[in-house]
Structure 1
Amino acid sequence: MIAPGALEDIKVLDISQGIAGPFAAKILGDFGADVIKIEPLTGDYGRTMAPFHKDDPDIEKSLFFLLLNLNKRGITLNLETSTGQKIFKELVAQCDVVVESFEPGYLDSLGLGYAELEKINPKIVLTSITWFGQTGPYSNYKGEEIVAYAMSGIMSISGTADREPLKHGGFQSQYESGINGALSTAFTLLMRDFTNEGQHVDVSIQEVVNSTLVVNQPFYSWTGAVQGRRRSEGAGFGNVMPCADGYFISQPGGGATWDDIVDFYGNEVLREEKFANAEERVQNGVEFDQVLTEATKDRKMHEMFKSASEDYRMLFGIVQTPEDLANCPQLEARNFYEEVDHPVIGKIKVPFRLFNMSETPSQYRIPSPTLGQHNVEVYTETLNYSKEDLVKLRELEII
């Protein structure tokens, strides 16, 4: 039996594409919202994003799309036609939230901007997730993951001082923005319970990433200092270092004394003042790295992680691979993964639970939709169109 969801009385229209917007709408769906994914007739461009299941570049086999559109029903609708716009407004009249990711001004050009939507439904919440937000001199500039990292400032502190700045792996800026989009939408829905009015939620991906620089910006604002990137040599401690079968990272603190750290690494030379003293340790960084590398070259990372964490209470981590994560006992214990049964791909285990709520947990209900999978259901049951109407709409390339 499925327990009640925190958002089970909320209806969402997801017209966003790619990563950030669909992820935001997915999170709302995970907590019970009825989410309708509205795609153009050719589909969300996220369907063309690799990797594909078994390397088959089919629009129904993108693993990105599968993950980002769980717990949604799916329909197709051409919003660039007058009839499509009319149908969309009919859906808006019955819904609580619209999630979108188009360039600022695009929905306005179709007569579907917030000013128009709130006339149809004064309680509607429109959540826009874009690269630079809805306002400002950059708002209509093009964006991408690496652009967000560069423009947010986080690349300026990533990498080593002797090389060019580095971008973090993956699509973290868009996932972070999706989470921010979902949470800000939930806050707005809570406020709506008091005001009975909707709002336009404006999420800038640049600002989301910039807001994570908790130390970097105050350094400059308060003292004029620039944090910069780490030294190219002698900065291994506190950063990633090699061991026999992978990589690890360790730092001072966490309840471990310096003697504990020396005992863990098993080299008495580390008790010398040039290593035990934090300032001298920096000055002797190259030698310090050499001592640690020699001490760990034959040790395996999982053994080190267990010993450092349990025996010495050190701040210690290991660089887990996808295989490590798939078999991680911590993630398994917290039911982080969910097995999805997709009508085309079949059964596959995917990351699912971002956070746990004791009484209204996130729940997997349905797989990501195939293109237009729920057209008949939504158009006939929600909007009372006849099957003959649907035939005409298909002929006119509206659905």
Structure 2
Amino acid sequence: MTQGGPRPLDGIRVLALEQMQALPYATQLLARLGADVVKIEPPSGDSGRGSLPAMTDPDGRRVGATFLRNNLGKRSVCVDLKNPRGRELVLELAPRFDVVAENSKAGAMARLGLGHPDIAAVHPAGIYVSVSGFGNSVPTPYGGWPAFAPIVEAMSGIYELKRTGDRPPTVAPVGALGDIGAALFATIGILAALRHRDATGRGQYVDIAMLDSVIAMTDIVTNFWSMGLRGGQTGPLIMHGFRAQDGWFVLQVAREQHFTRLADLVGRPEWKDDPRLATRQGWVDELETLLRPAIEGWAADLTKLEACDLLGRAGIAAGPCLSDAEVVADPHVQARNMLVELPRTDGVEQPVLVPGSPVRMSEAPPAAETRPPWLGEHTDAVLAAELGLTGAALSELRTGKVIF
């Protein structure tokens, strides 16, 4: 990626007490937009470092995939927050940052003396962000529950909506939707709070619940229920997968003019006058008897990409079902620099691939990506620069097992 000029968040500083993905994805996005993100990690490291698959760092410690794909462009400071002096270090650092963010279980930071009131007492203009499974600001029966992405995804209703018969639900069908959804809403909240502070000079508390975020993203569950659909029903439309010569493609037809174009394209102009297909519900009712045989017959001698290209040229939305290897090699993905290569440090030739930033801005070209930090890599440099600690003071803190 090219080295860009000034970026939108240059000068914004984030102190992140974070782990796994729900908050780290948000702060990585902020870092890609120019923010200086300092990550506070416990002696054992962000729990995402322990995920699998993994590689090893230059010191032979495991660095898991969850950590690798969520921590580009950050600095790592290793502090024991359970040590009173470690807590004091964070309170001393906080006023030097615009945003203090955490994604522990609800109430955990308050018990450590690092909740919003504690930070606000030393930094009234600071923006404090919490990301948790069920939120911190409103009582909820689930407040004490731990949460990962599939937990809140299940509770959003989307798994049950898509489950069929007596089959178990398909868990995590699109990766960590619960994490990345919460991260995106946290990012929006942070940007809005920064704008509010520009106007008022005041900081505030931004509280993000993962379940709230997924309910917002799976909006059809509750919206369709309120409009009379039950048992996983969705609006009557063609939104299904069809087989081509080399695999599957997905086709969506939800308007009459698109159905007319489909009929002509696949050589079935008589569909336009067939009373069985005169309504959208008719399309669904006759999907397996009339539509699928004709569509798959038309696509039988076409690759999935060729079929989608012809459909697209006719103004009909369709996309091929790509395998993991096909996504990596896809020309769109390559043209948009949507995969960042992280060279491995354990002798494996294949670099780790991390999704790039999907945000493109005409006045802020993307800067070069920097690798995720090793555990505690920047502890001494950050504490010396921010708090003026001497080498002797840092050695004393390390001997006392406050920093690592």
Q: Give TM-score scaled by structure 1 length.
A: 0.89
Aligned partners of 1:362, 1:161: CA distance in 2, in Å?
A: 47
Shift of 1:110: 1.5
Gap runs ≥5 in structure 2: none
Q: How does 1:1-399 map onto structure 2 within 5 Å?
A: 2-53=4-55, 59-134=61-136, 135=138, 136-160=140-164, 163-167=167-171, 168-221=173-226, 223=227, 225-229=228-232, 237-253=238-254, 257-267=258-268, 270=271, 272-275=274-277, 277-288=279-290, 289-310=292-313, 312-341=314-343, 348-399=352-403
Deviation at 1:334, TM superposition (A): 2.5
Q: TM-score, normalised by structure 2?
A: 0.88
- CA apart distance, 1:365: 4.1
Distance in structure 2 (CA, Å) of the matches to 1:364 and 1:137? 44
Name the CA distance, whole Å, in 1 between partners of 2:240 and 2:254: 14
Instruction: Call closer, same or farther: CA 1:283–1:145 in 2, change over 3 Å.
Output: same
- Measured in 1, the distance between the counterparts of 2:321 and 2:200 equals 48
Q: Deviations over 1:64-115 (max 9, x none)?
A: 2112000101110000011001111111021111111111221111111111
Q: SS of the counterpart of 2:96?
A: coil
Q: What is the Cα deviation at residue 198 of structure 1?
A: 1.0
Amino acid paired to 2:32: D
Q: Which moved more, 1:386-395 or 1:181-190?
A: 386-395
Inter-partner Cα distance in structure 2 for 1:86 and 1:390? 14
Q: Is the contact between residue 254 and residue 314 of structure 1 (CA under 8 Å) also seen in structure 2? A: no
* Cα distance in 2, alignment partners of residues 103 and 248 from structure 1: 41
- Residues 238, 284 of structure 2: 8 Å contact kept: no
Cα deviation digits, residues 98-142 of structure 1 (max 9, x gap): 111111221111111111111101111111111111132212212
- How far did residue 295 of structure 1 move? 3.5
- Alignment deviations for residues 280-302 of structure 1 (CA, whole Å, 9 cap, x no partner): 33332331333333443443101
Would the aligned equivalents of 1:107 and 1:113 in 2 still touch at CA under 8 Å? yes
CA spacing shift, 1:132–1:153, aligned 2, 3 Å: same
- Shift in Å at residue 380 of structure 1? 1.5
Alignment coverage as a number of residue pairs: 391
Amino acid at match of 1:358: S
Per mean C-alpha deviation after superposition, the further-off stretch among 183-192 and 273-282 is 273-282
> What letter matches 1:330 in structure 2?
H
Which range moved further: 82-91 or 288-297? 288-297
Alpha-carbon distance in structure 1 between the residues aligned to 2:247 and 2:6 = 43
Equivalent AA in structure 2 for residue 217 of structure 1: T
Structure 2 SS opposite 1:19: coil
Query: What amino acid sits opposite 1:145 in the alignment?
Result: A
Structure 2 counterpart of 1:379, one-letter code = L
Quick one: distance in 1 between partners of 2:168 and 2:268? 35
C-alpha separation in 2, matches of 1:47 and 1:189? 30
Offset from partner CA, 1:155-182 (integer Å, 9 cap, x none): 2212335644433231111011111111
Cα–Cα, structure 1 residues 294 and 280, in superposed 2: closer, same or farther, change >3 Å? same
Residue 187 (structure 1) shift? 0.7
Distance 2:389 2:374 in 1: 21
Separation of aligned partners in 1, 2:282 and 2:229: 22
Displacement of 1:254: 7.4
2:81 counterpart SS class: coil
Shift of 1:268: 5.7
Conserved 8 A contact 1:262-1:270: yes
Distance across 1 between alignment mates of 2:281 and 2:96: 63
Question: Which amino acid in structure 1 is aligned with residue 186 of structure 2?
Answer: G
- State whether residues 250 and 316 of structure 1, in contact with CA within 8 Å, keep that contact through their aligned partners in structure 2: yes
Supply the RMSD in Å over aligned alpha carbons.
2.6
Deviation readout 1:263-311 (Å, 9 max, x if unpaired)? 332356645443454333333233133333344344310111111112x
> How far does the alpha carbon of each residue in 1:329-379 deviate from its partner, in whole angstroms, 9 at most, with x for none?
223333323344566688544211121122134433421000111112112
Question: 2:181 and 2:366 mapped to 1: Cα distance?
Answer: 18
Aligned partners of 2:181 and 2:217 also within 8 Å: no
Aligned CA distance change for structure 1 residues 93 and 244 (closer, same or farther; 3 Å): same
Which deviations, in whole Å up to 9, do the C-alpha atoms of 1:174-209 show, x marking residues without a partner? 011111111211110110111111111100110101
d(CA) in 2 for partners of 1:280, 1:274: 6
Letter in 2 for 1:300: T
Alpha-carbon distance between aligned partners in 2 of 1:3 and 1:328, rounded to the nearest angstrom: 28
Tell me, in whole angstroms, the C-alpha distance in 2 between the residues paired with 1:5 and 1:188: 18
8 Å CA contact 2:29, 2:357 repeated in 1: no
- Alpha carbons of structure 1 residues 368 and 115: separation in structure 2 relative to 1, 3 Å: same
Identity over aligned residues, as a percent?
Answer: 26
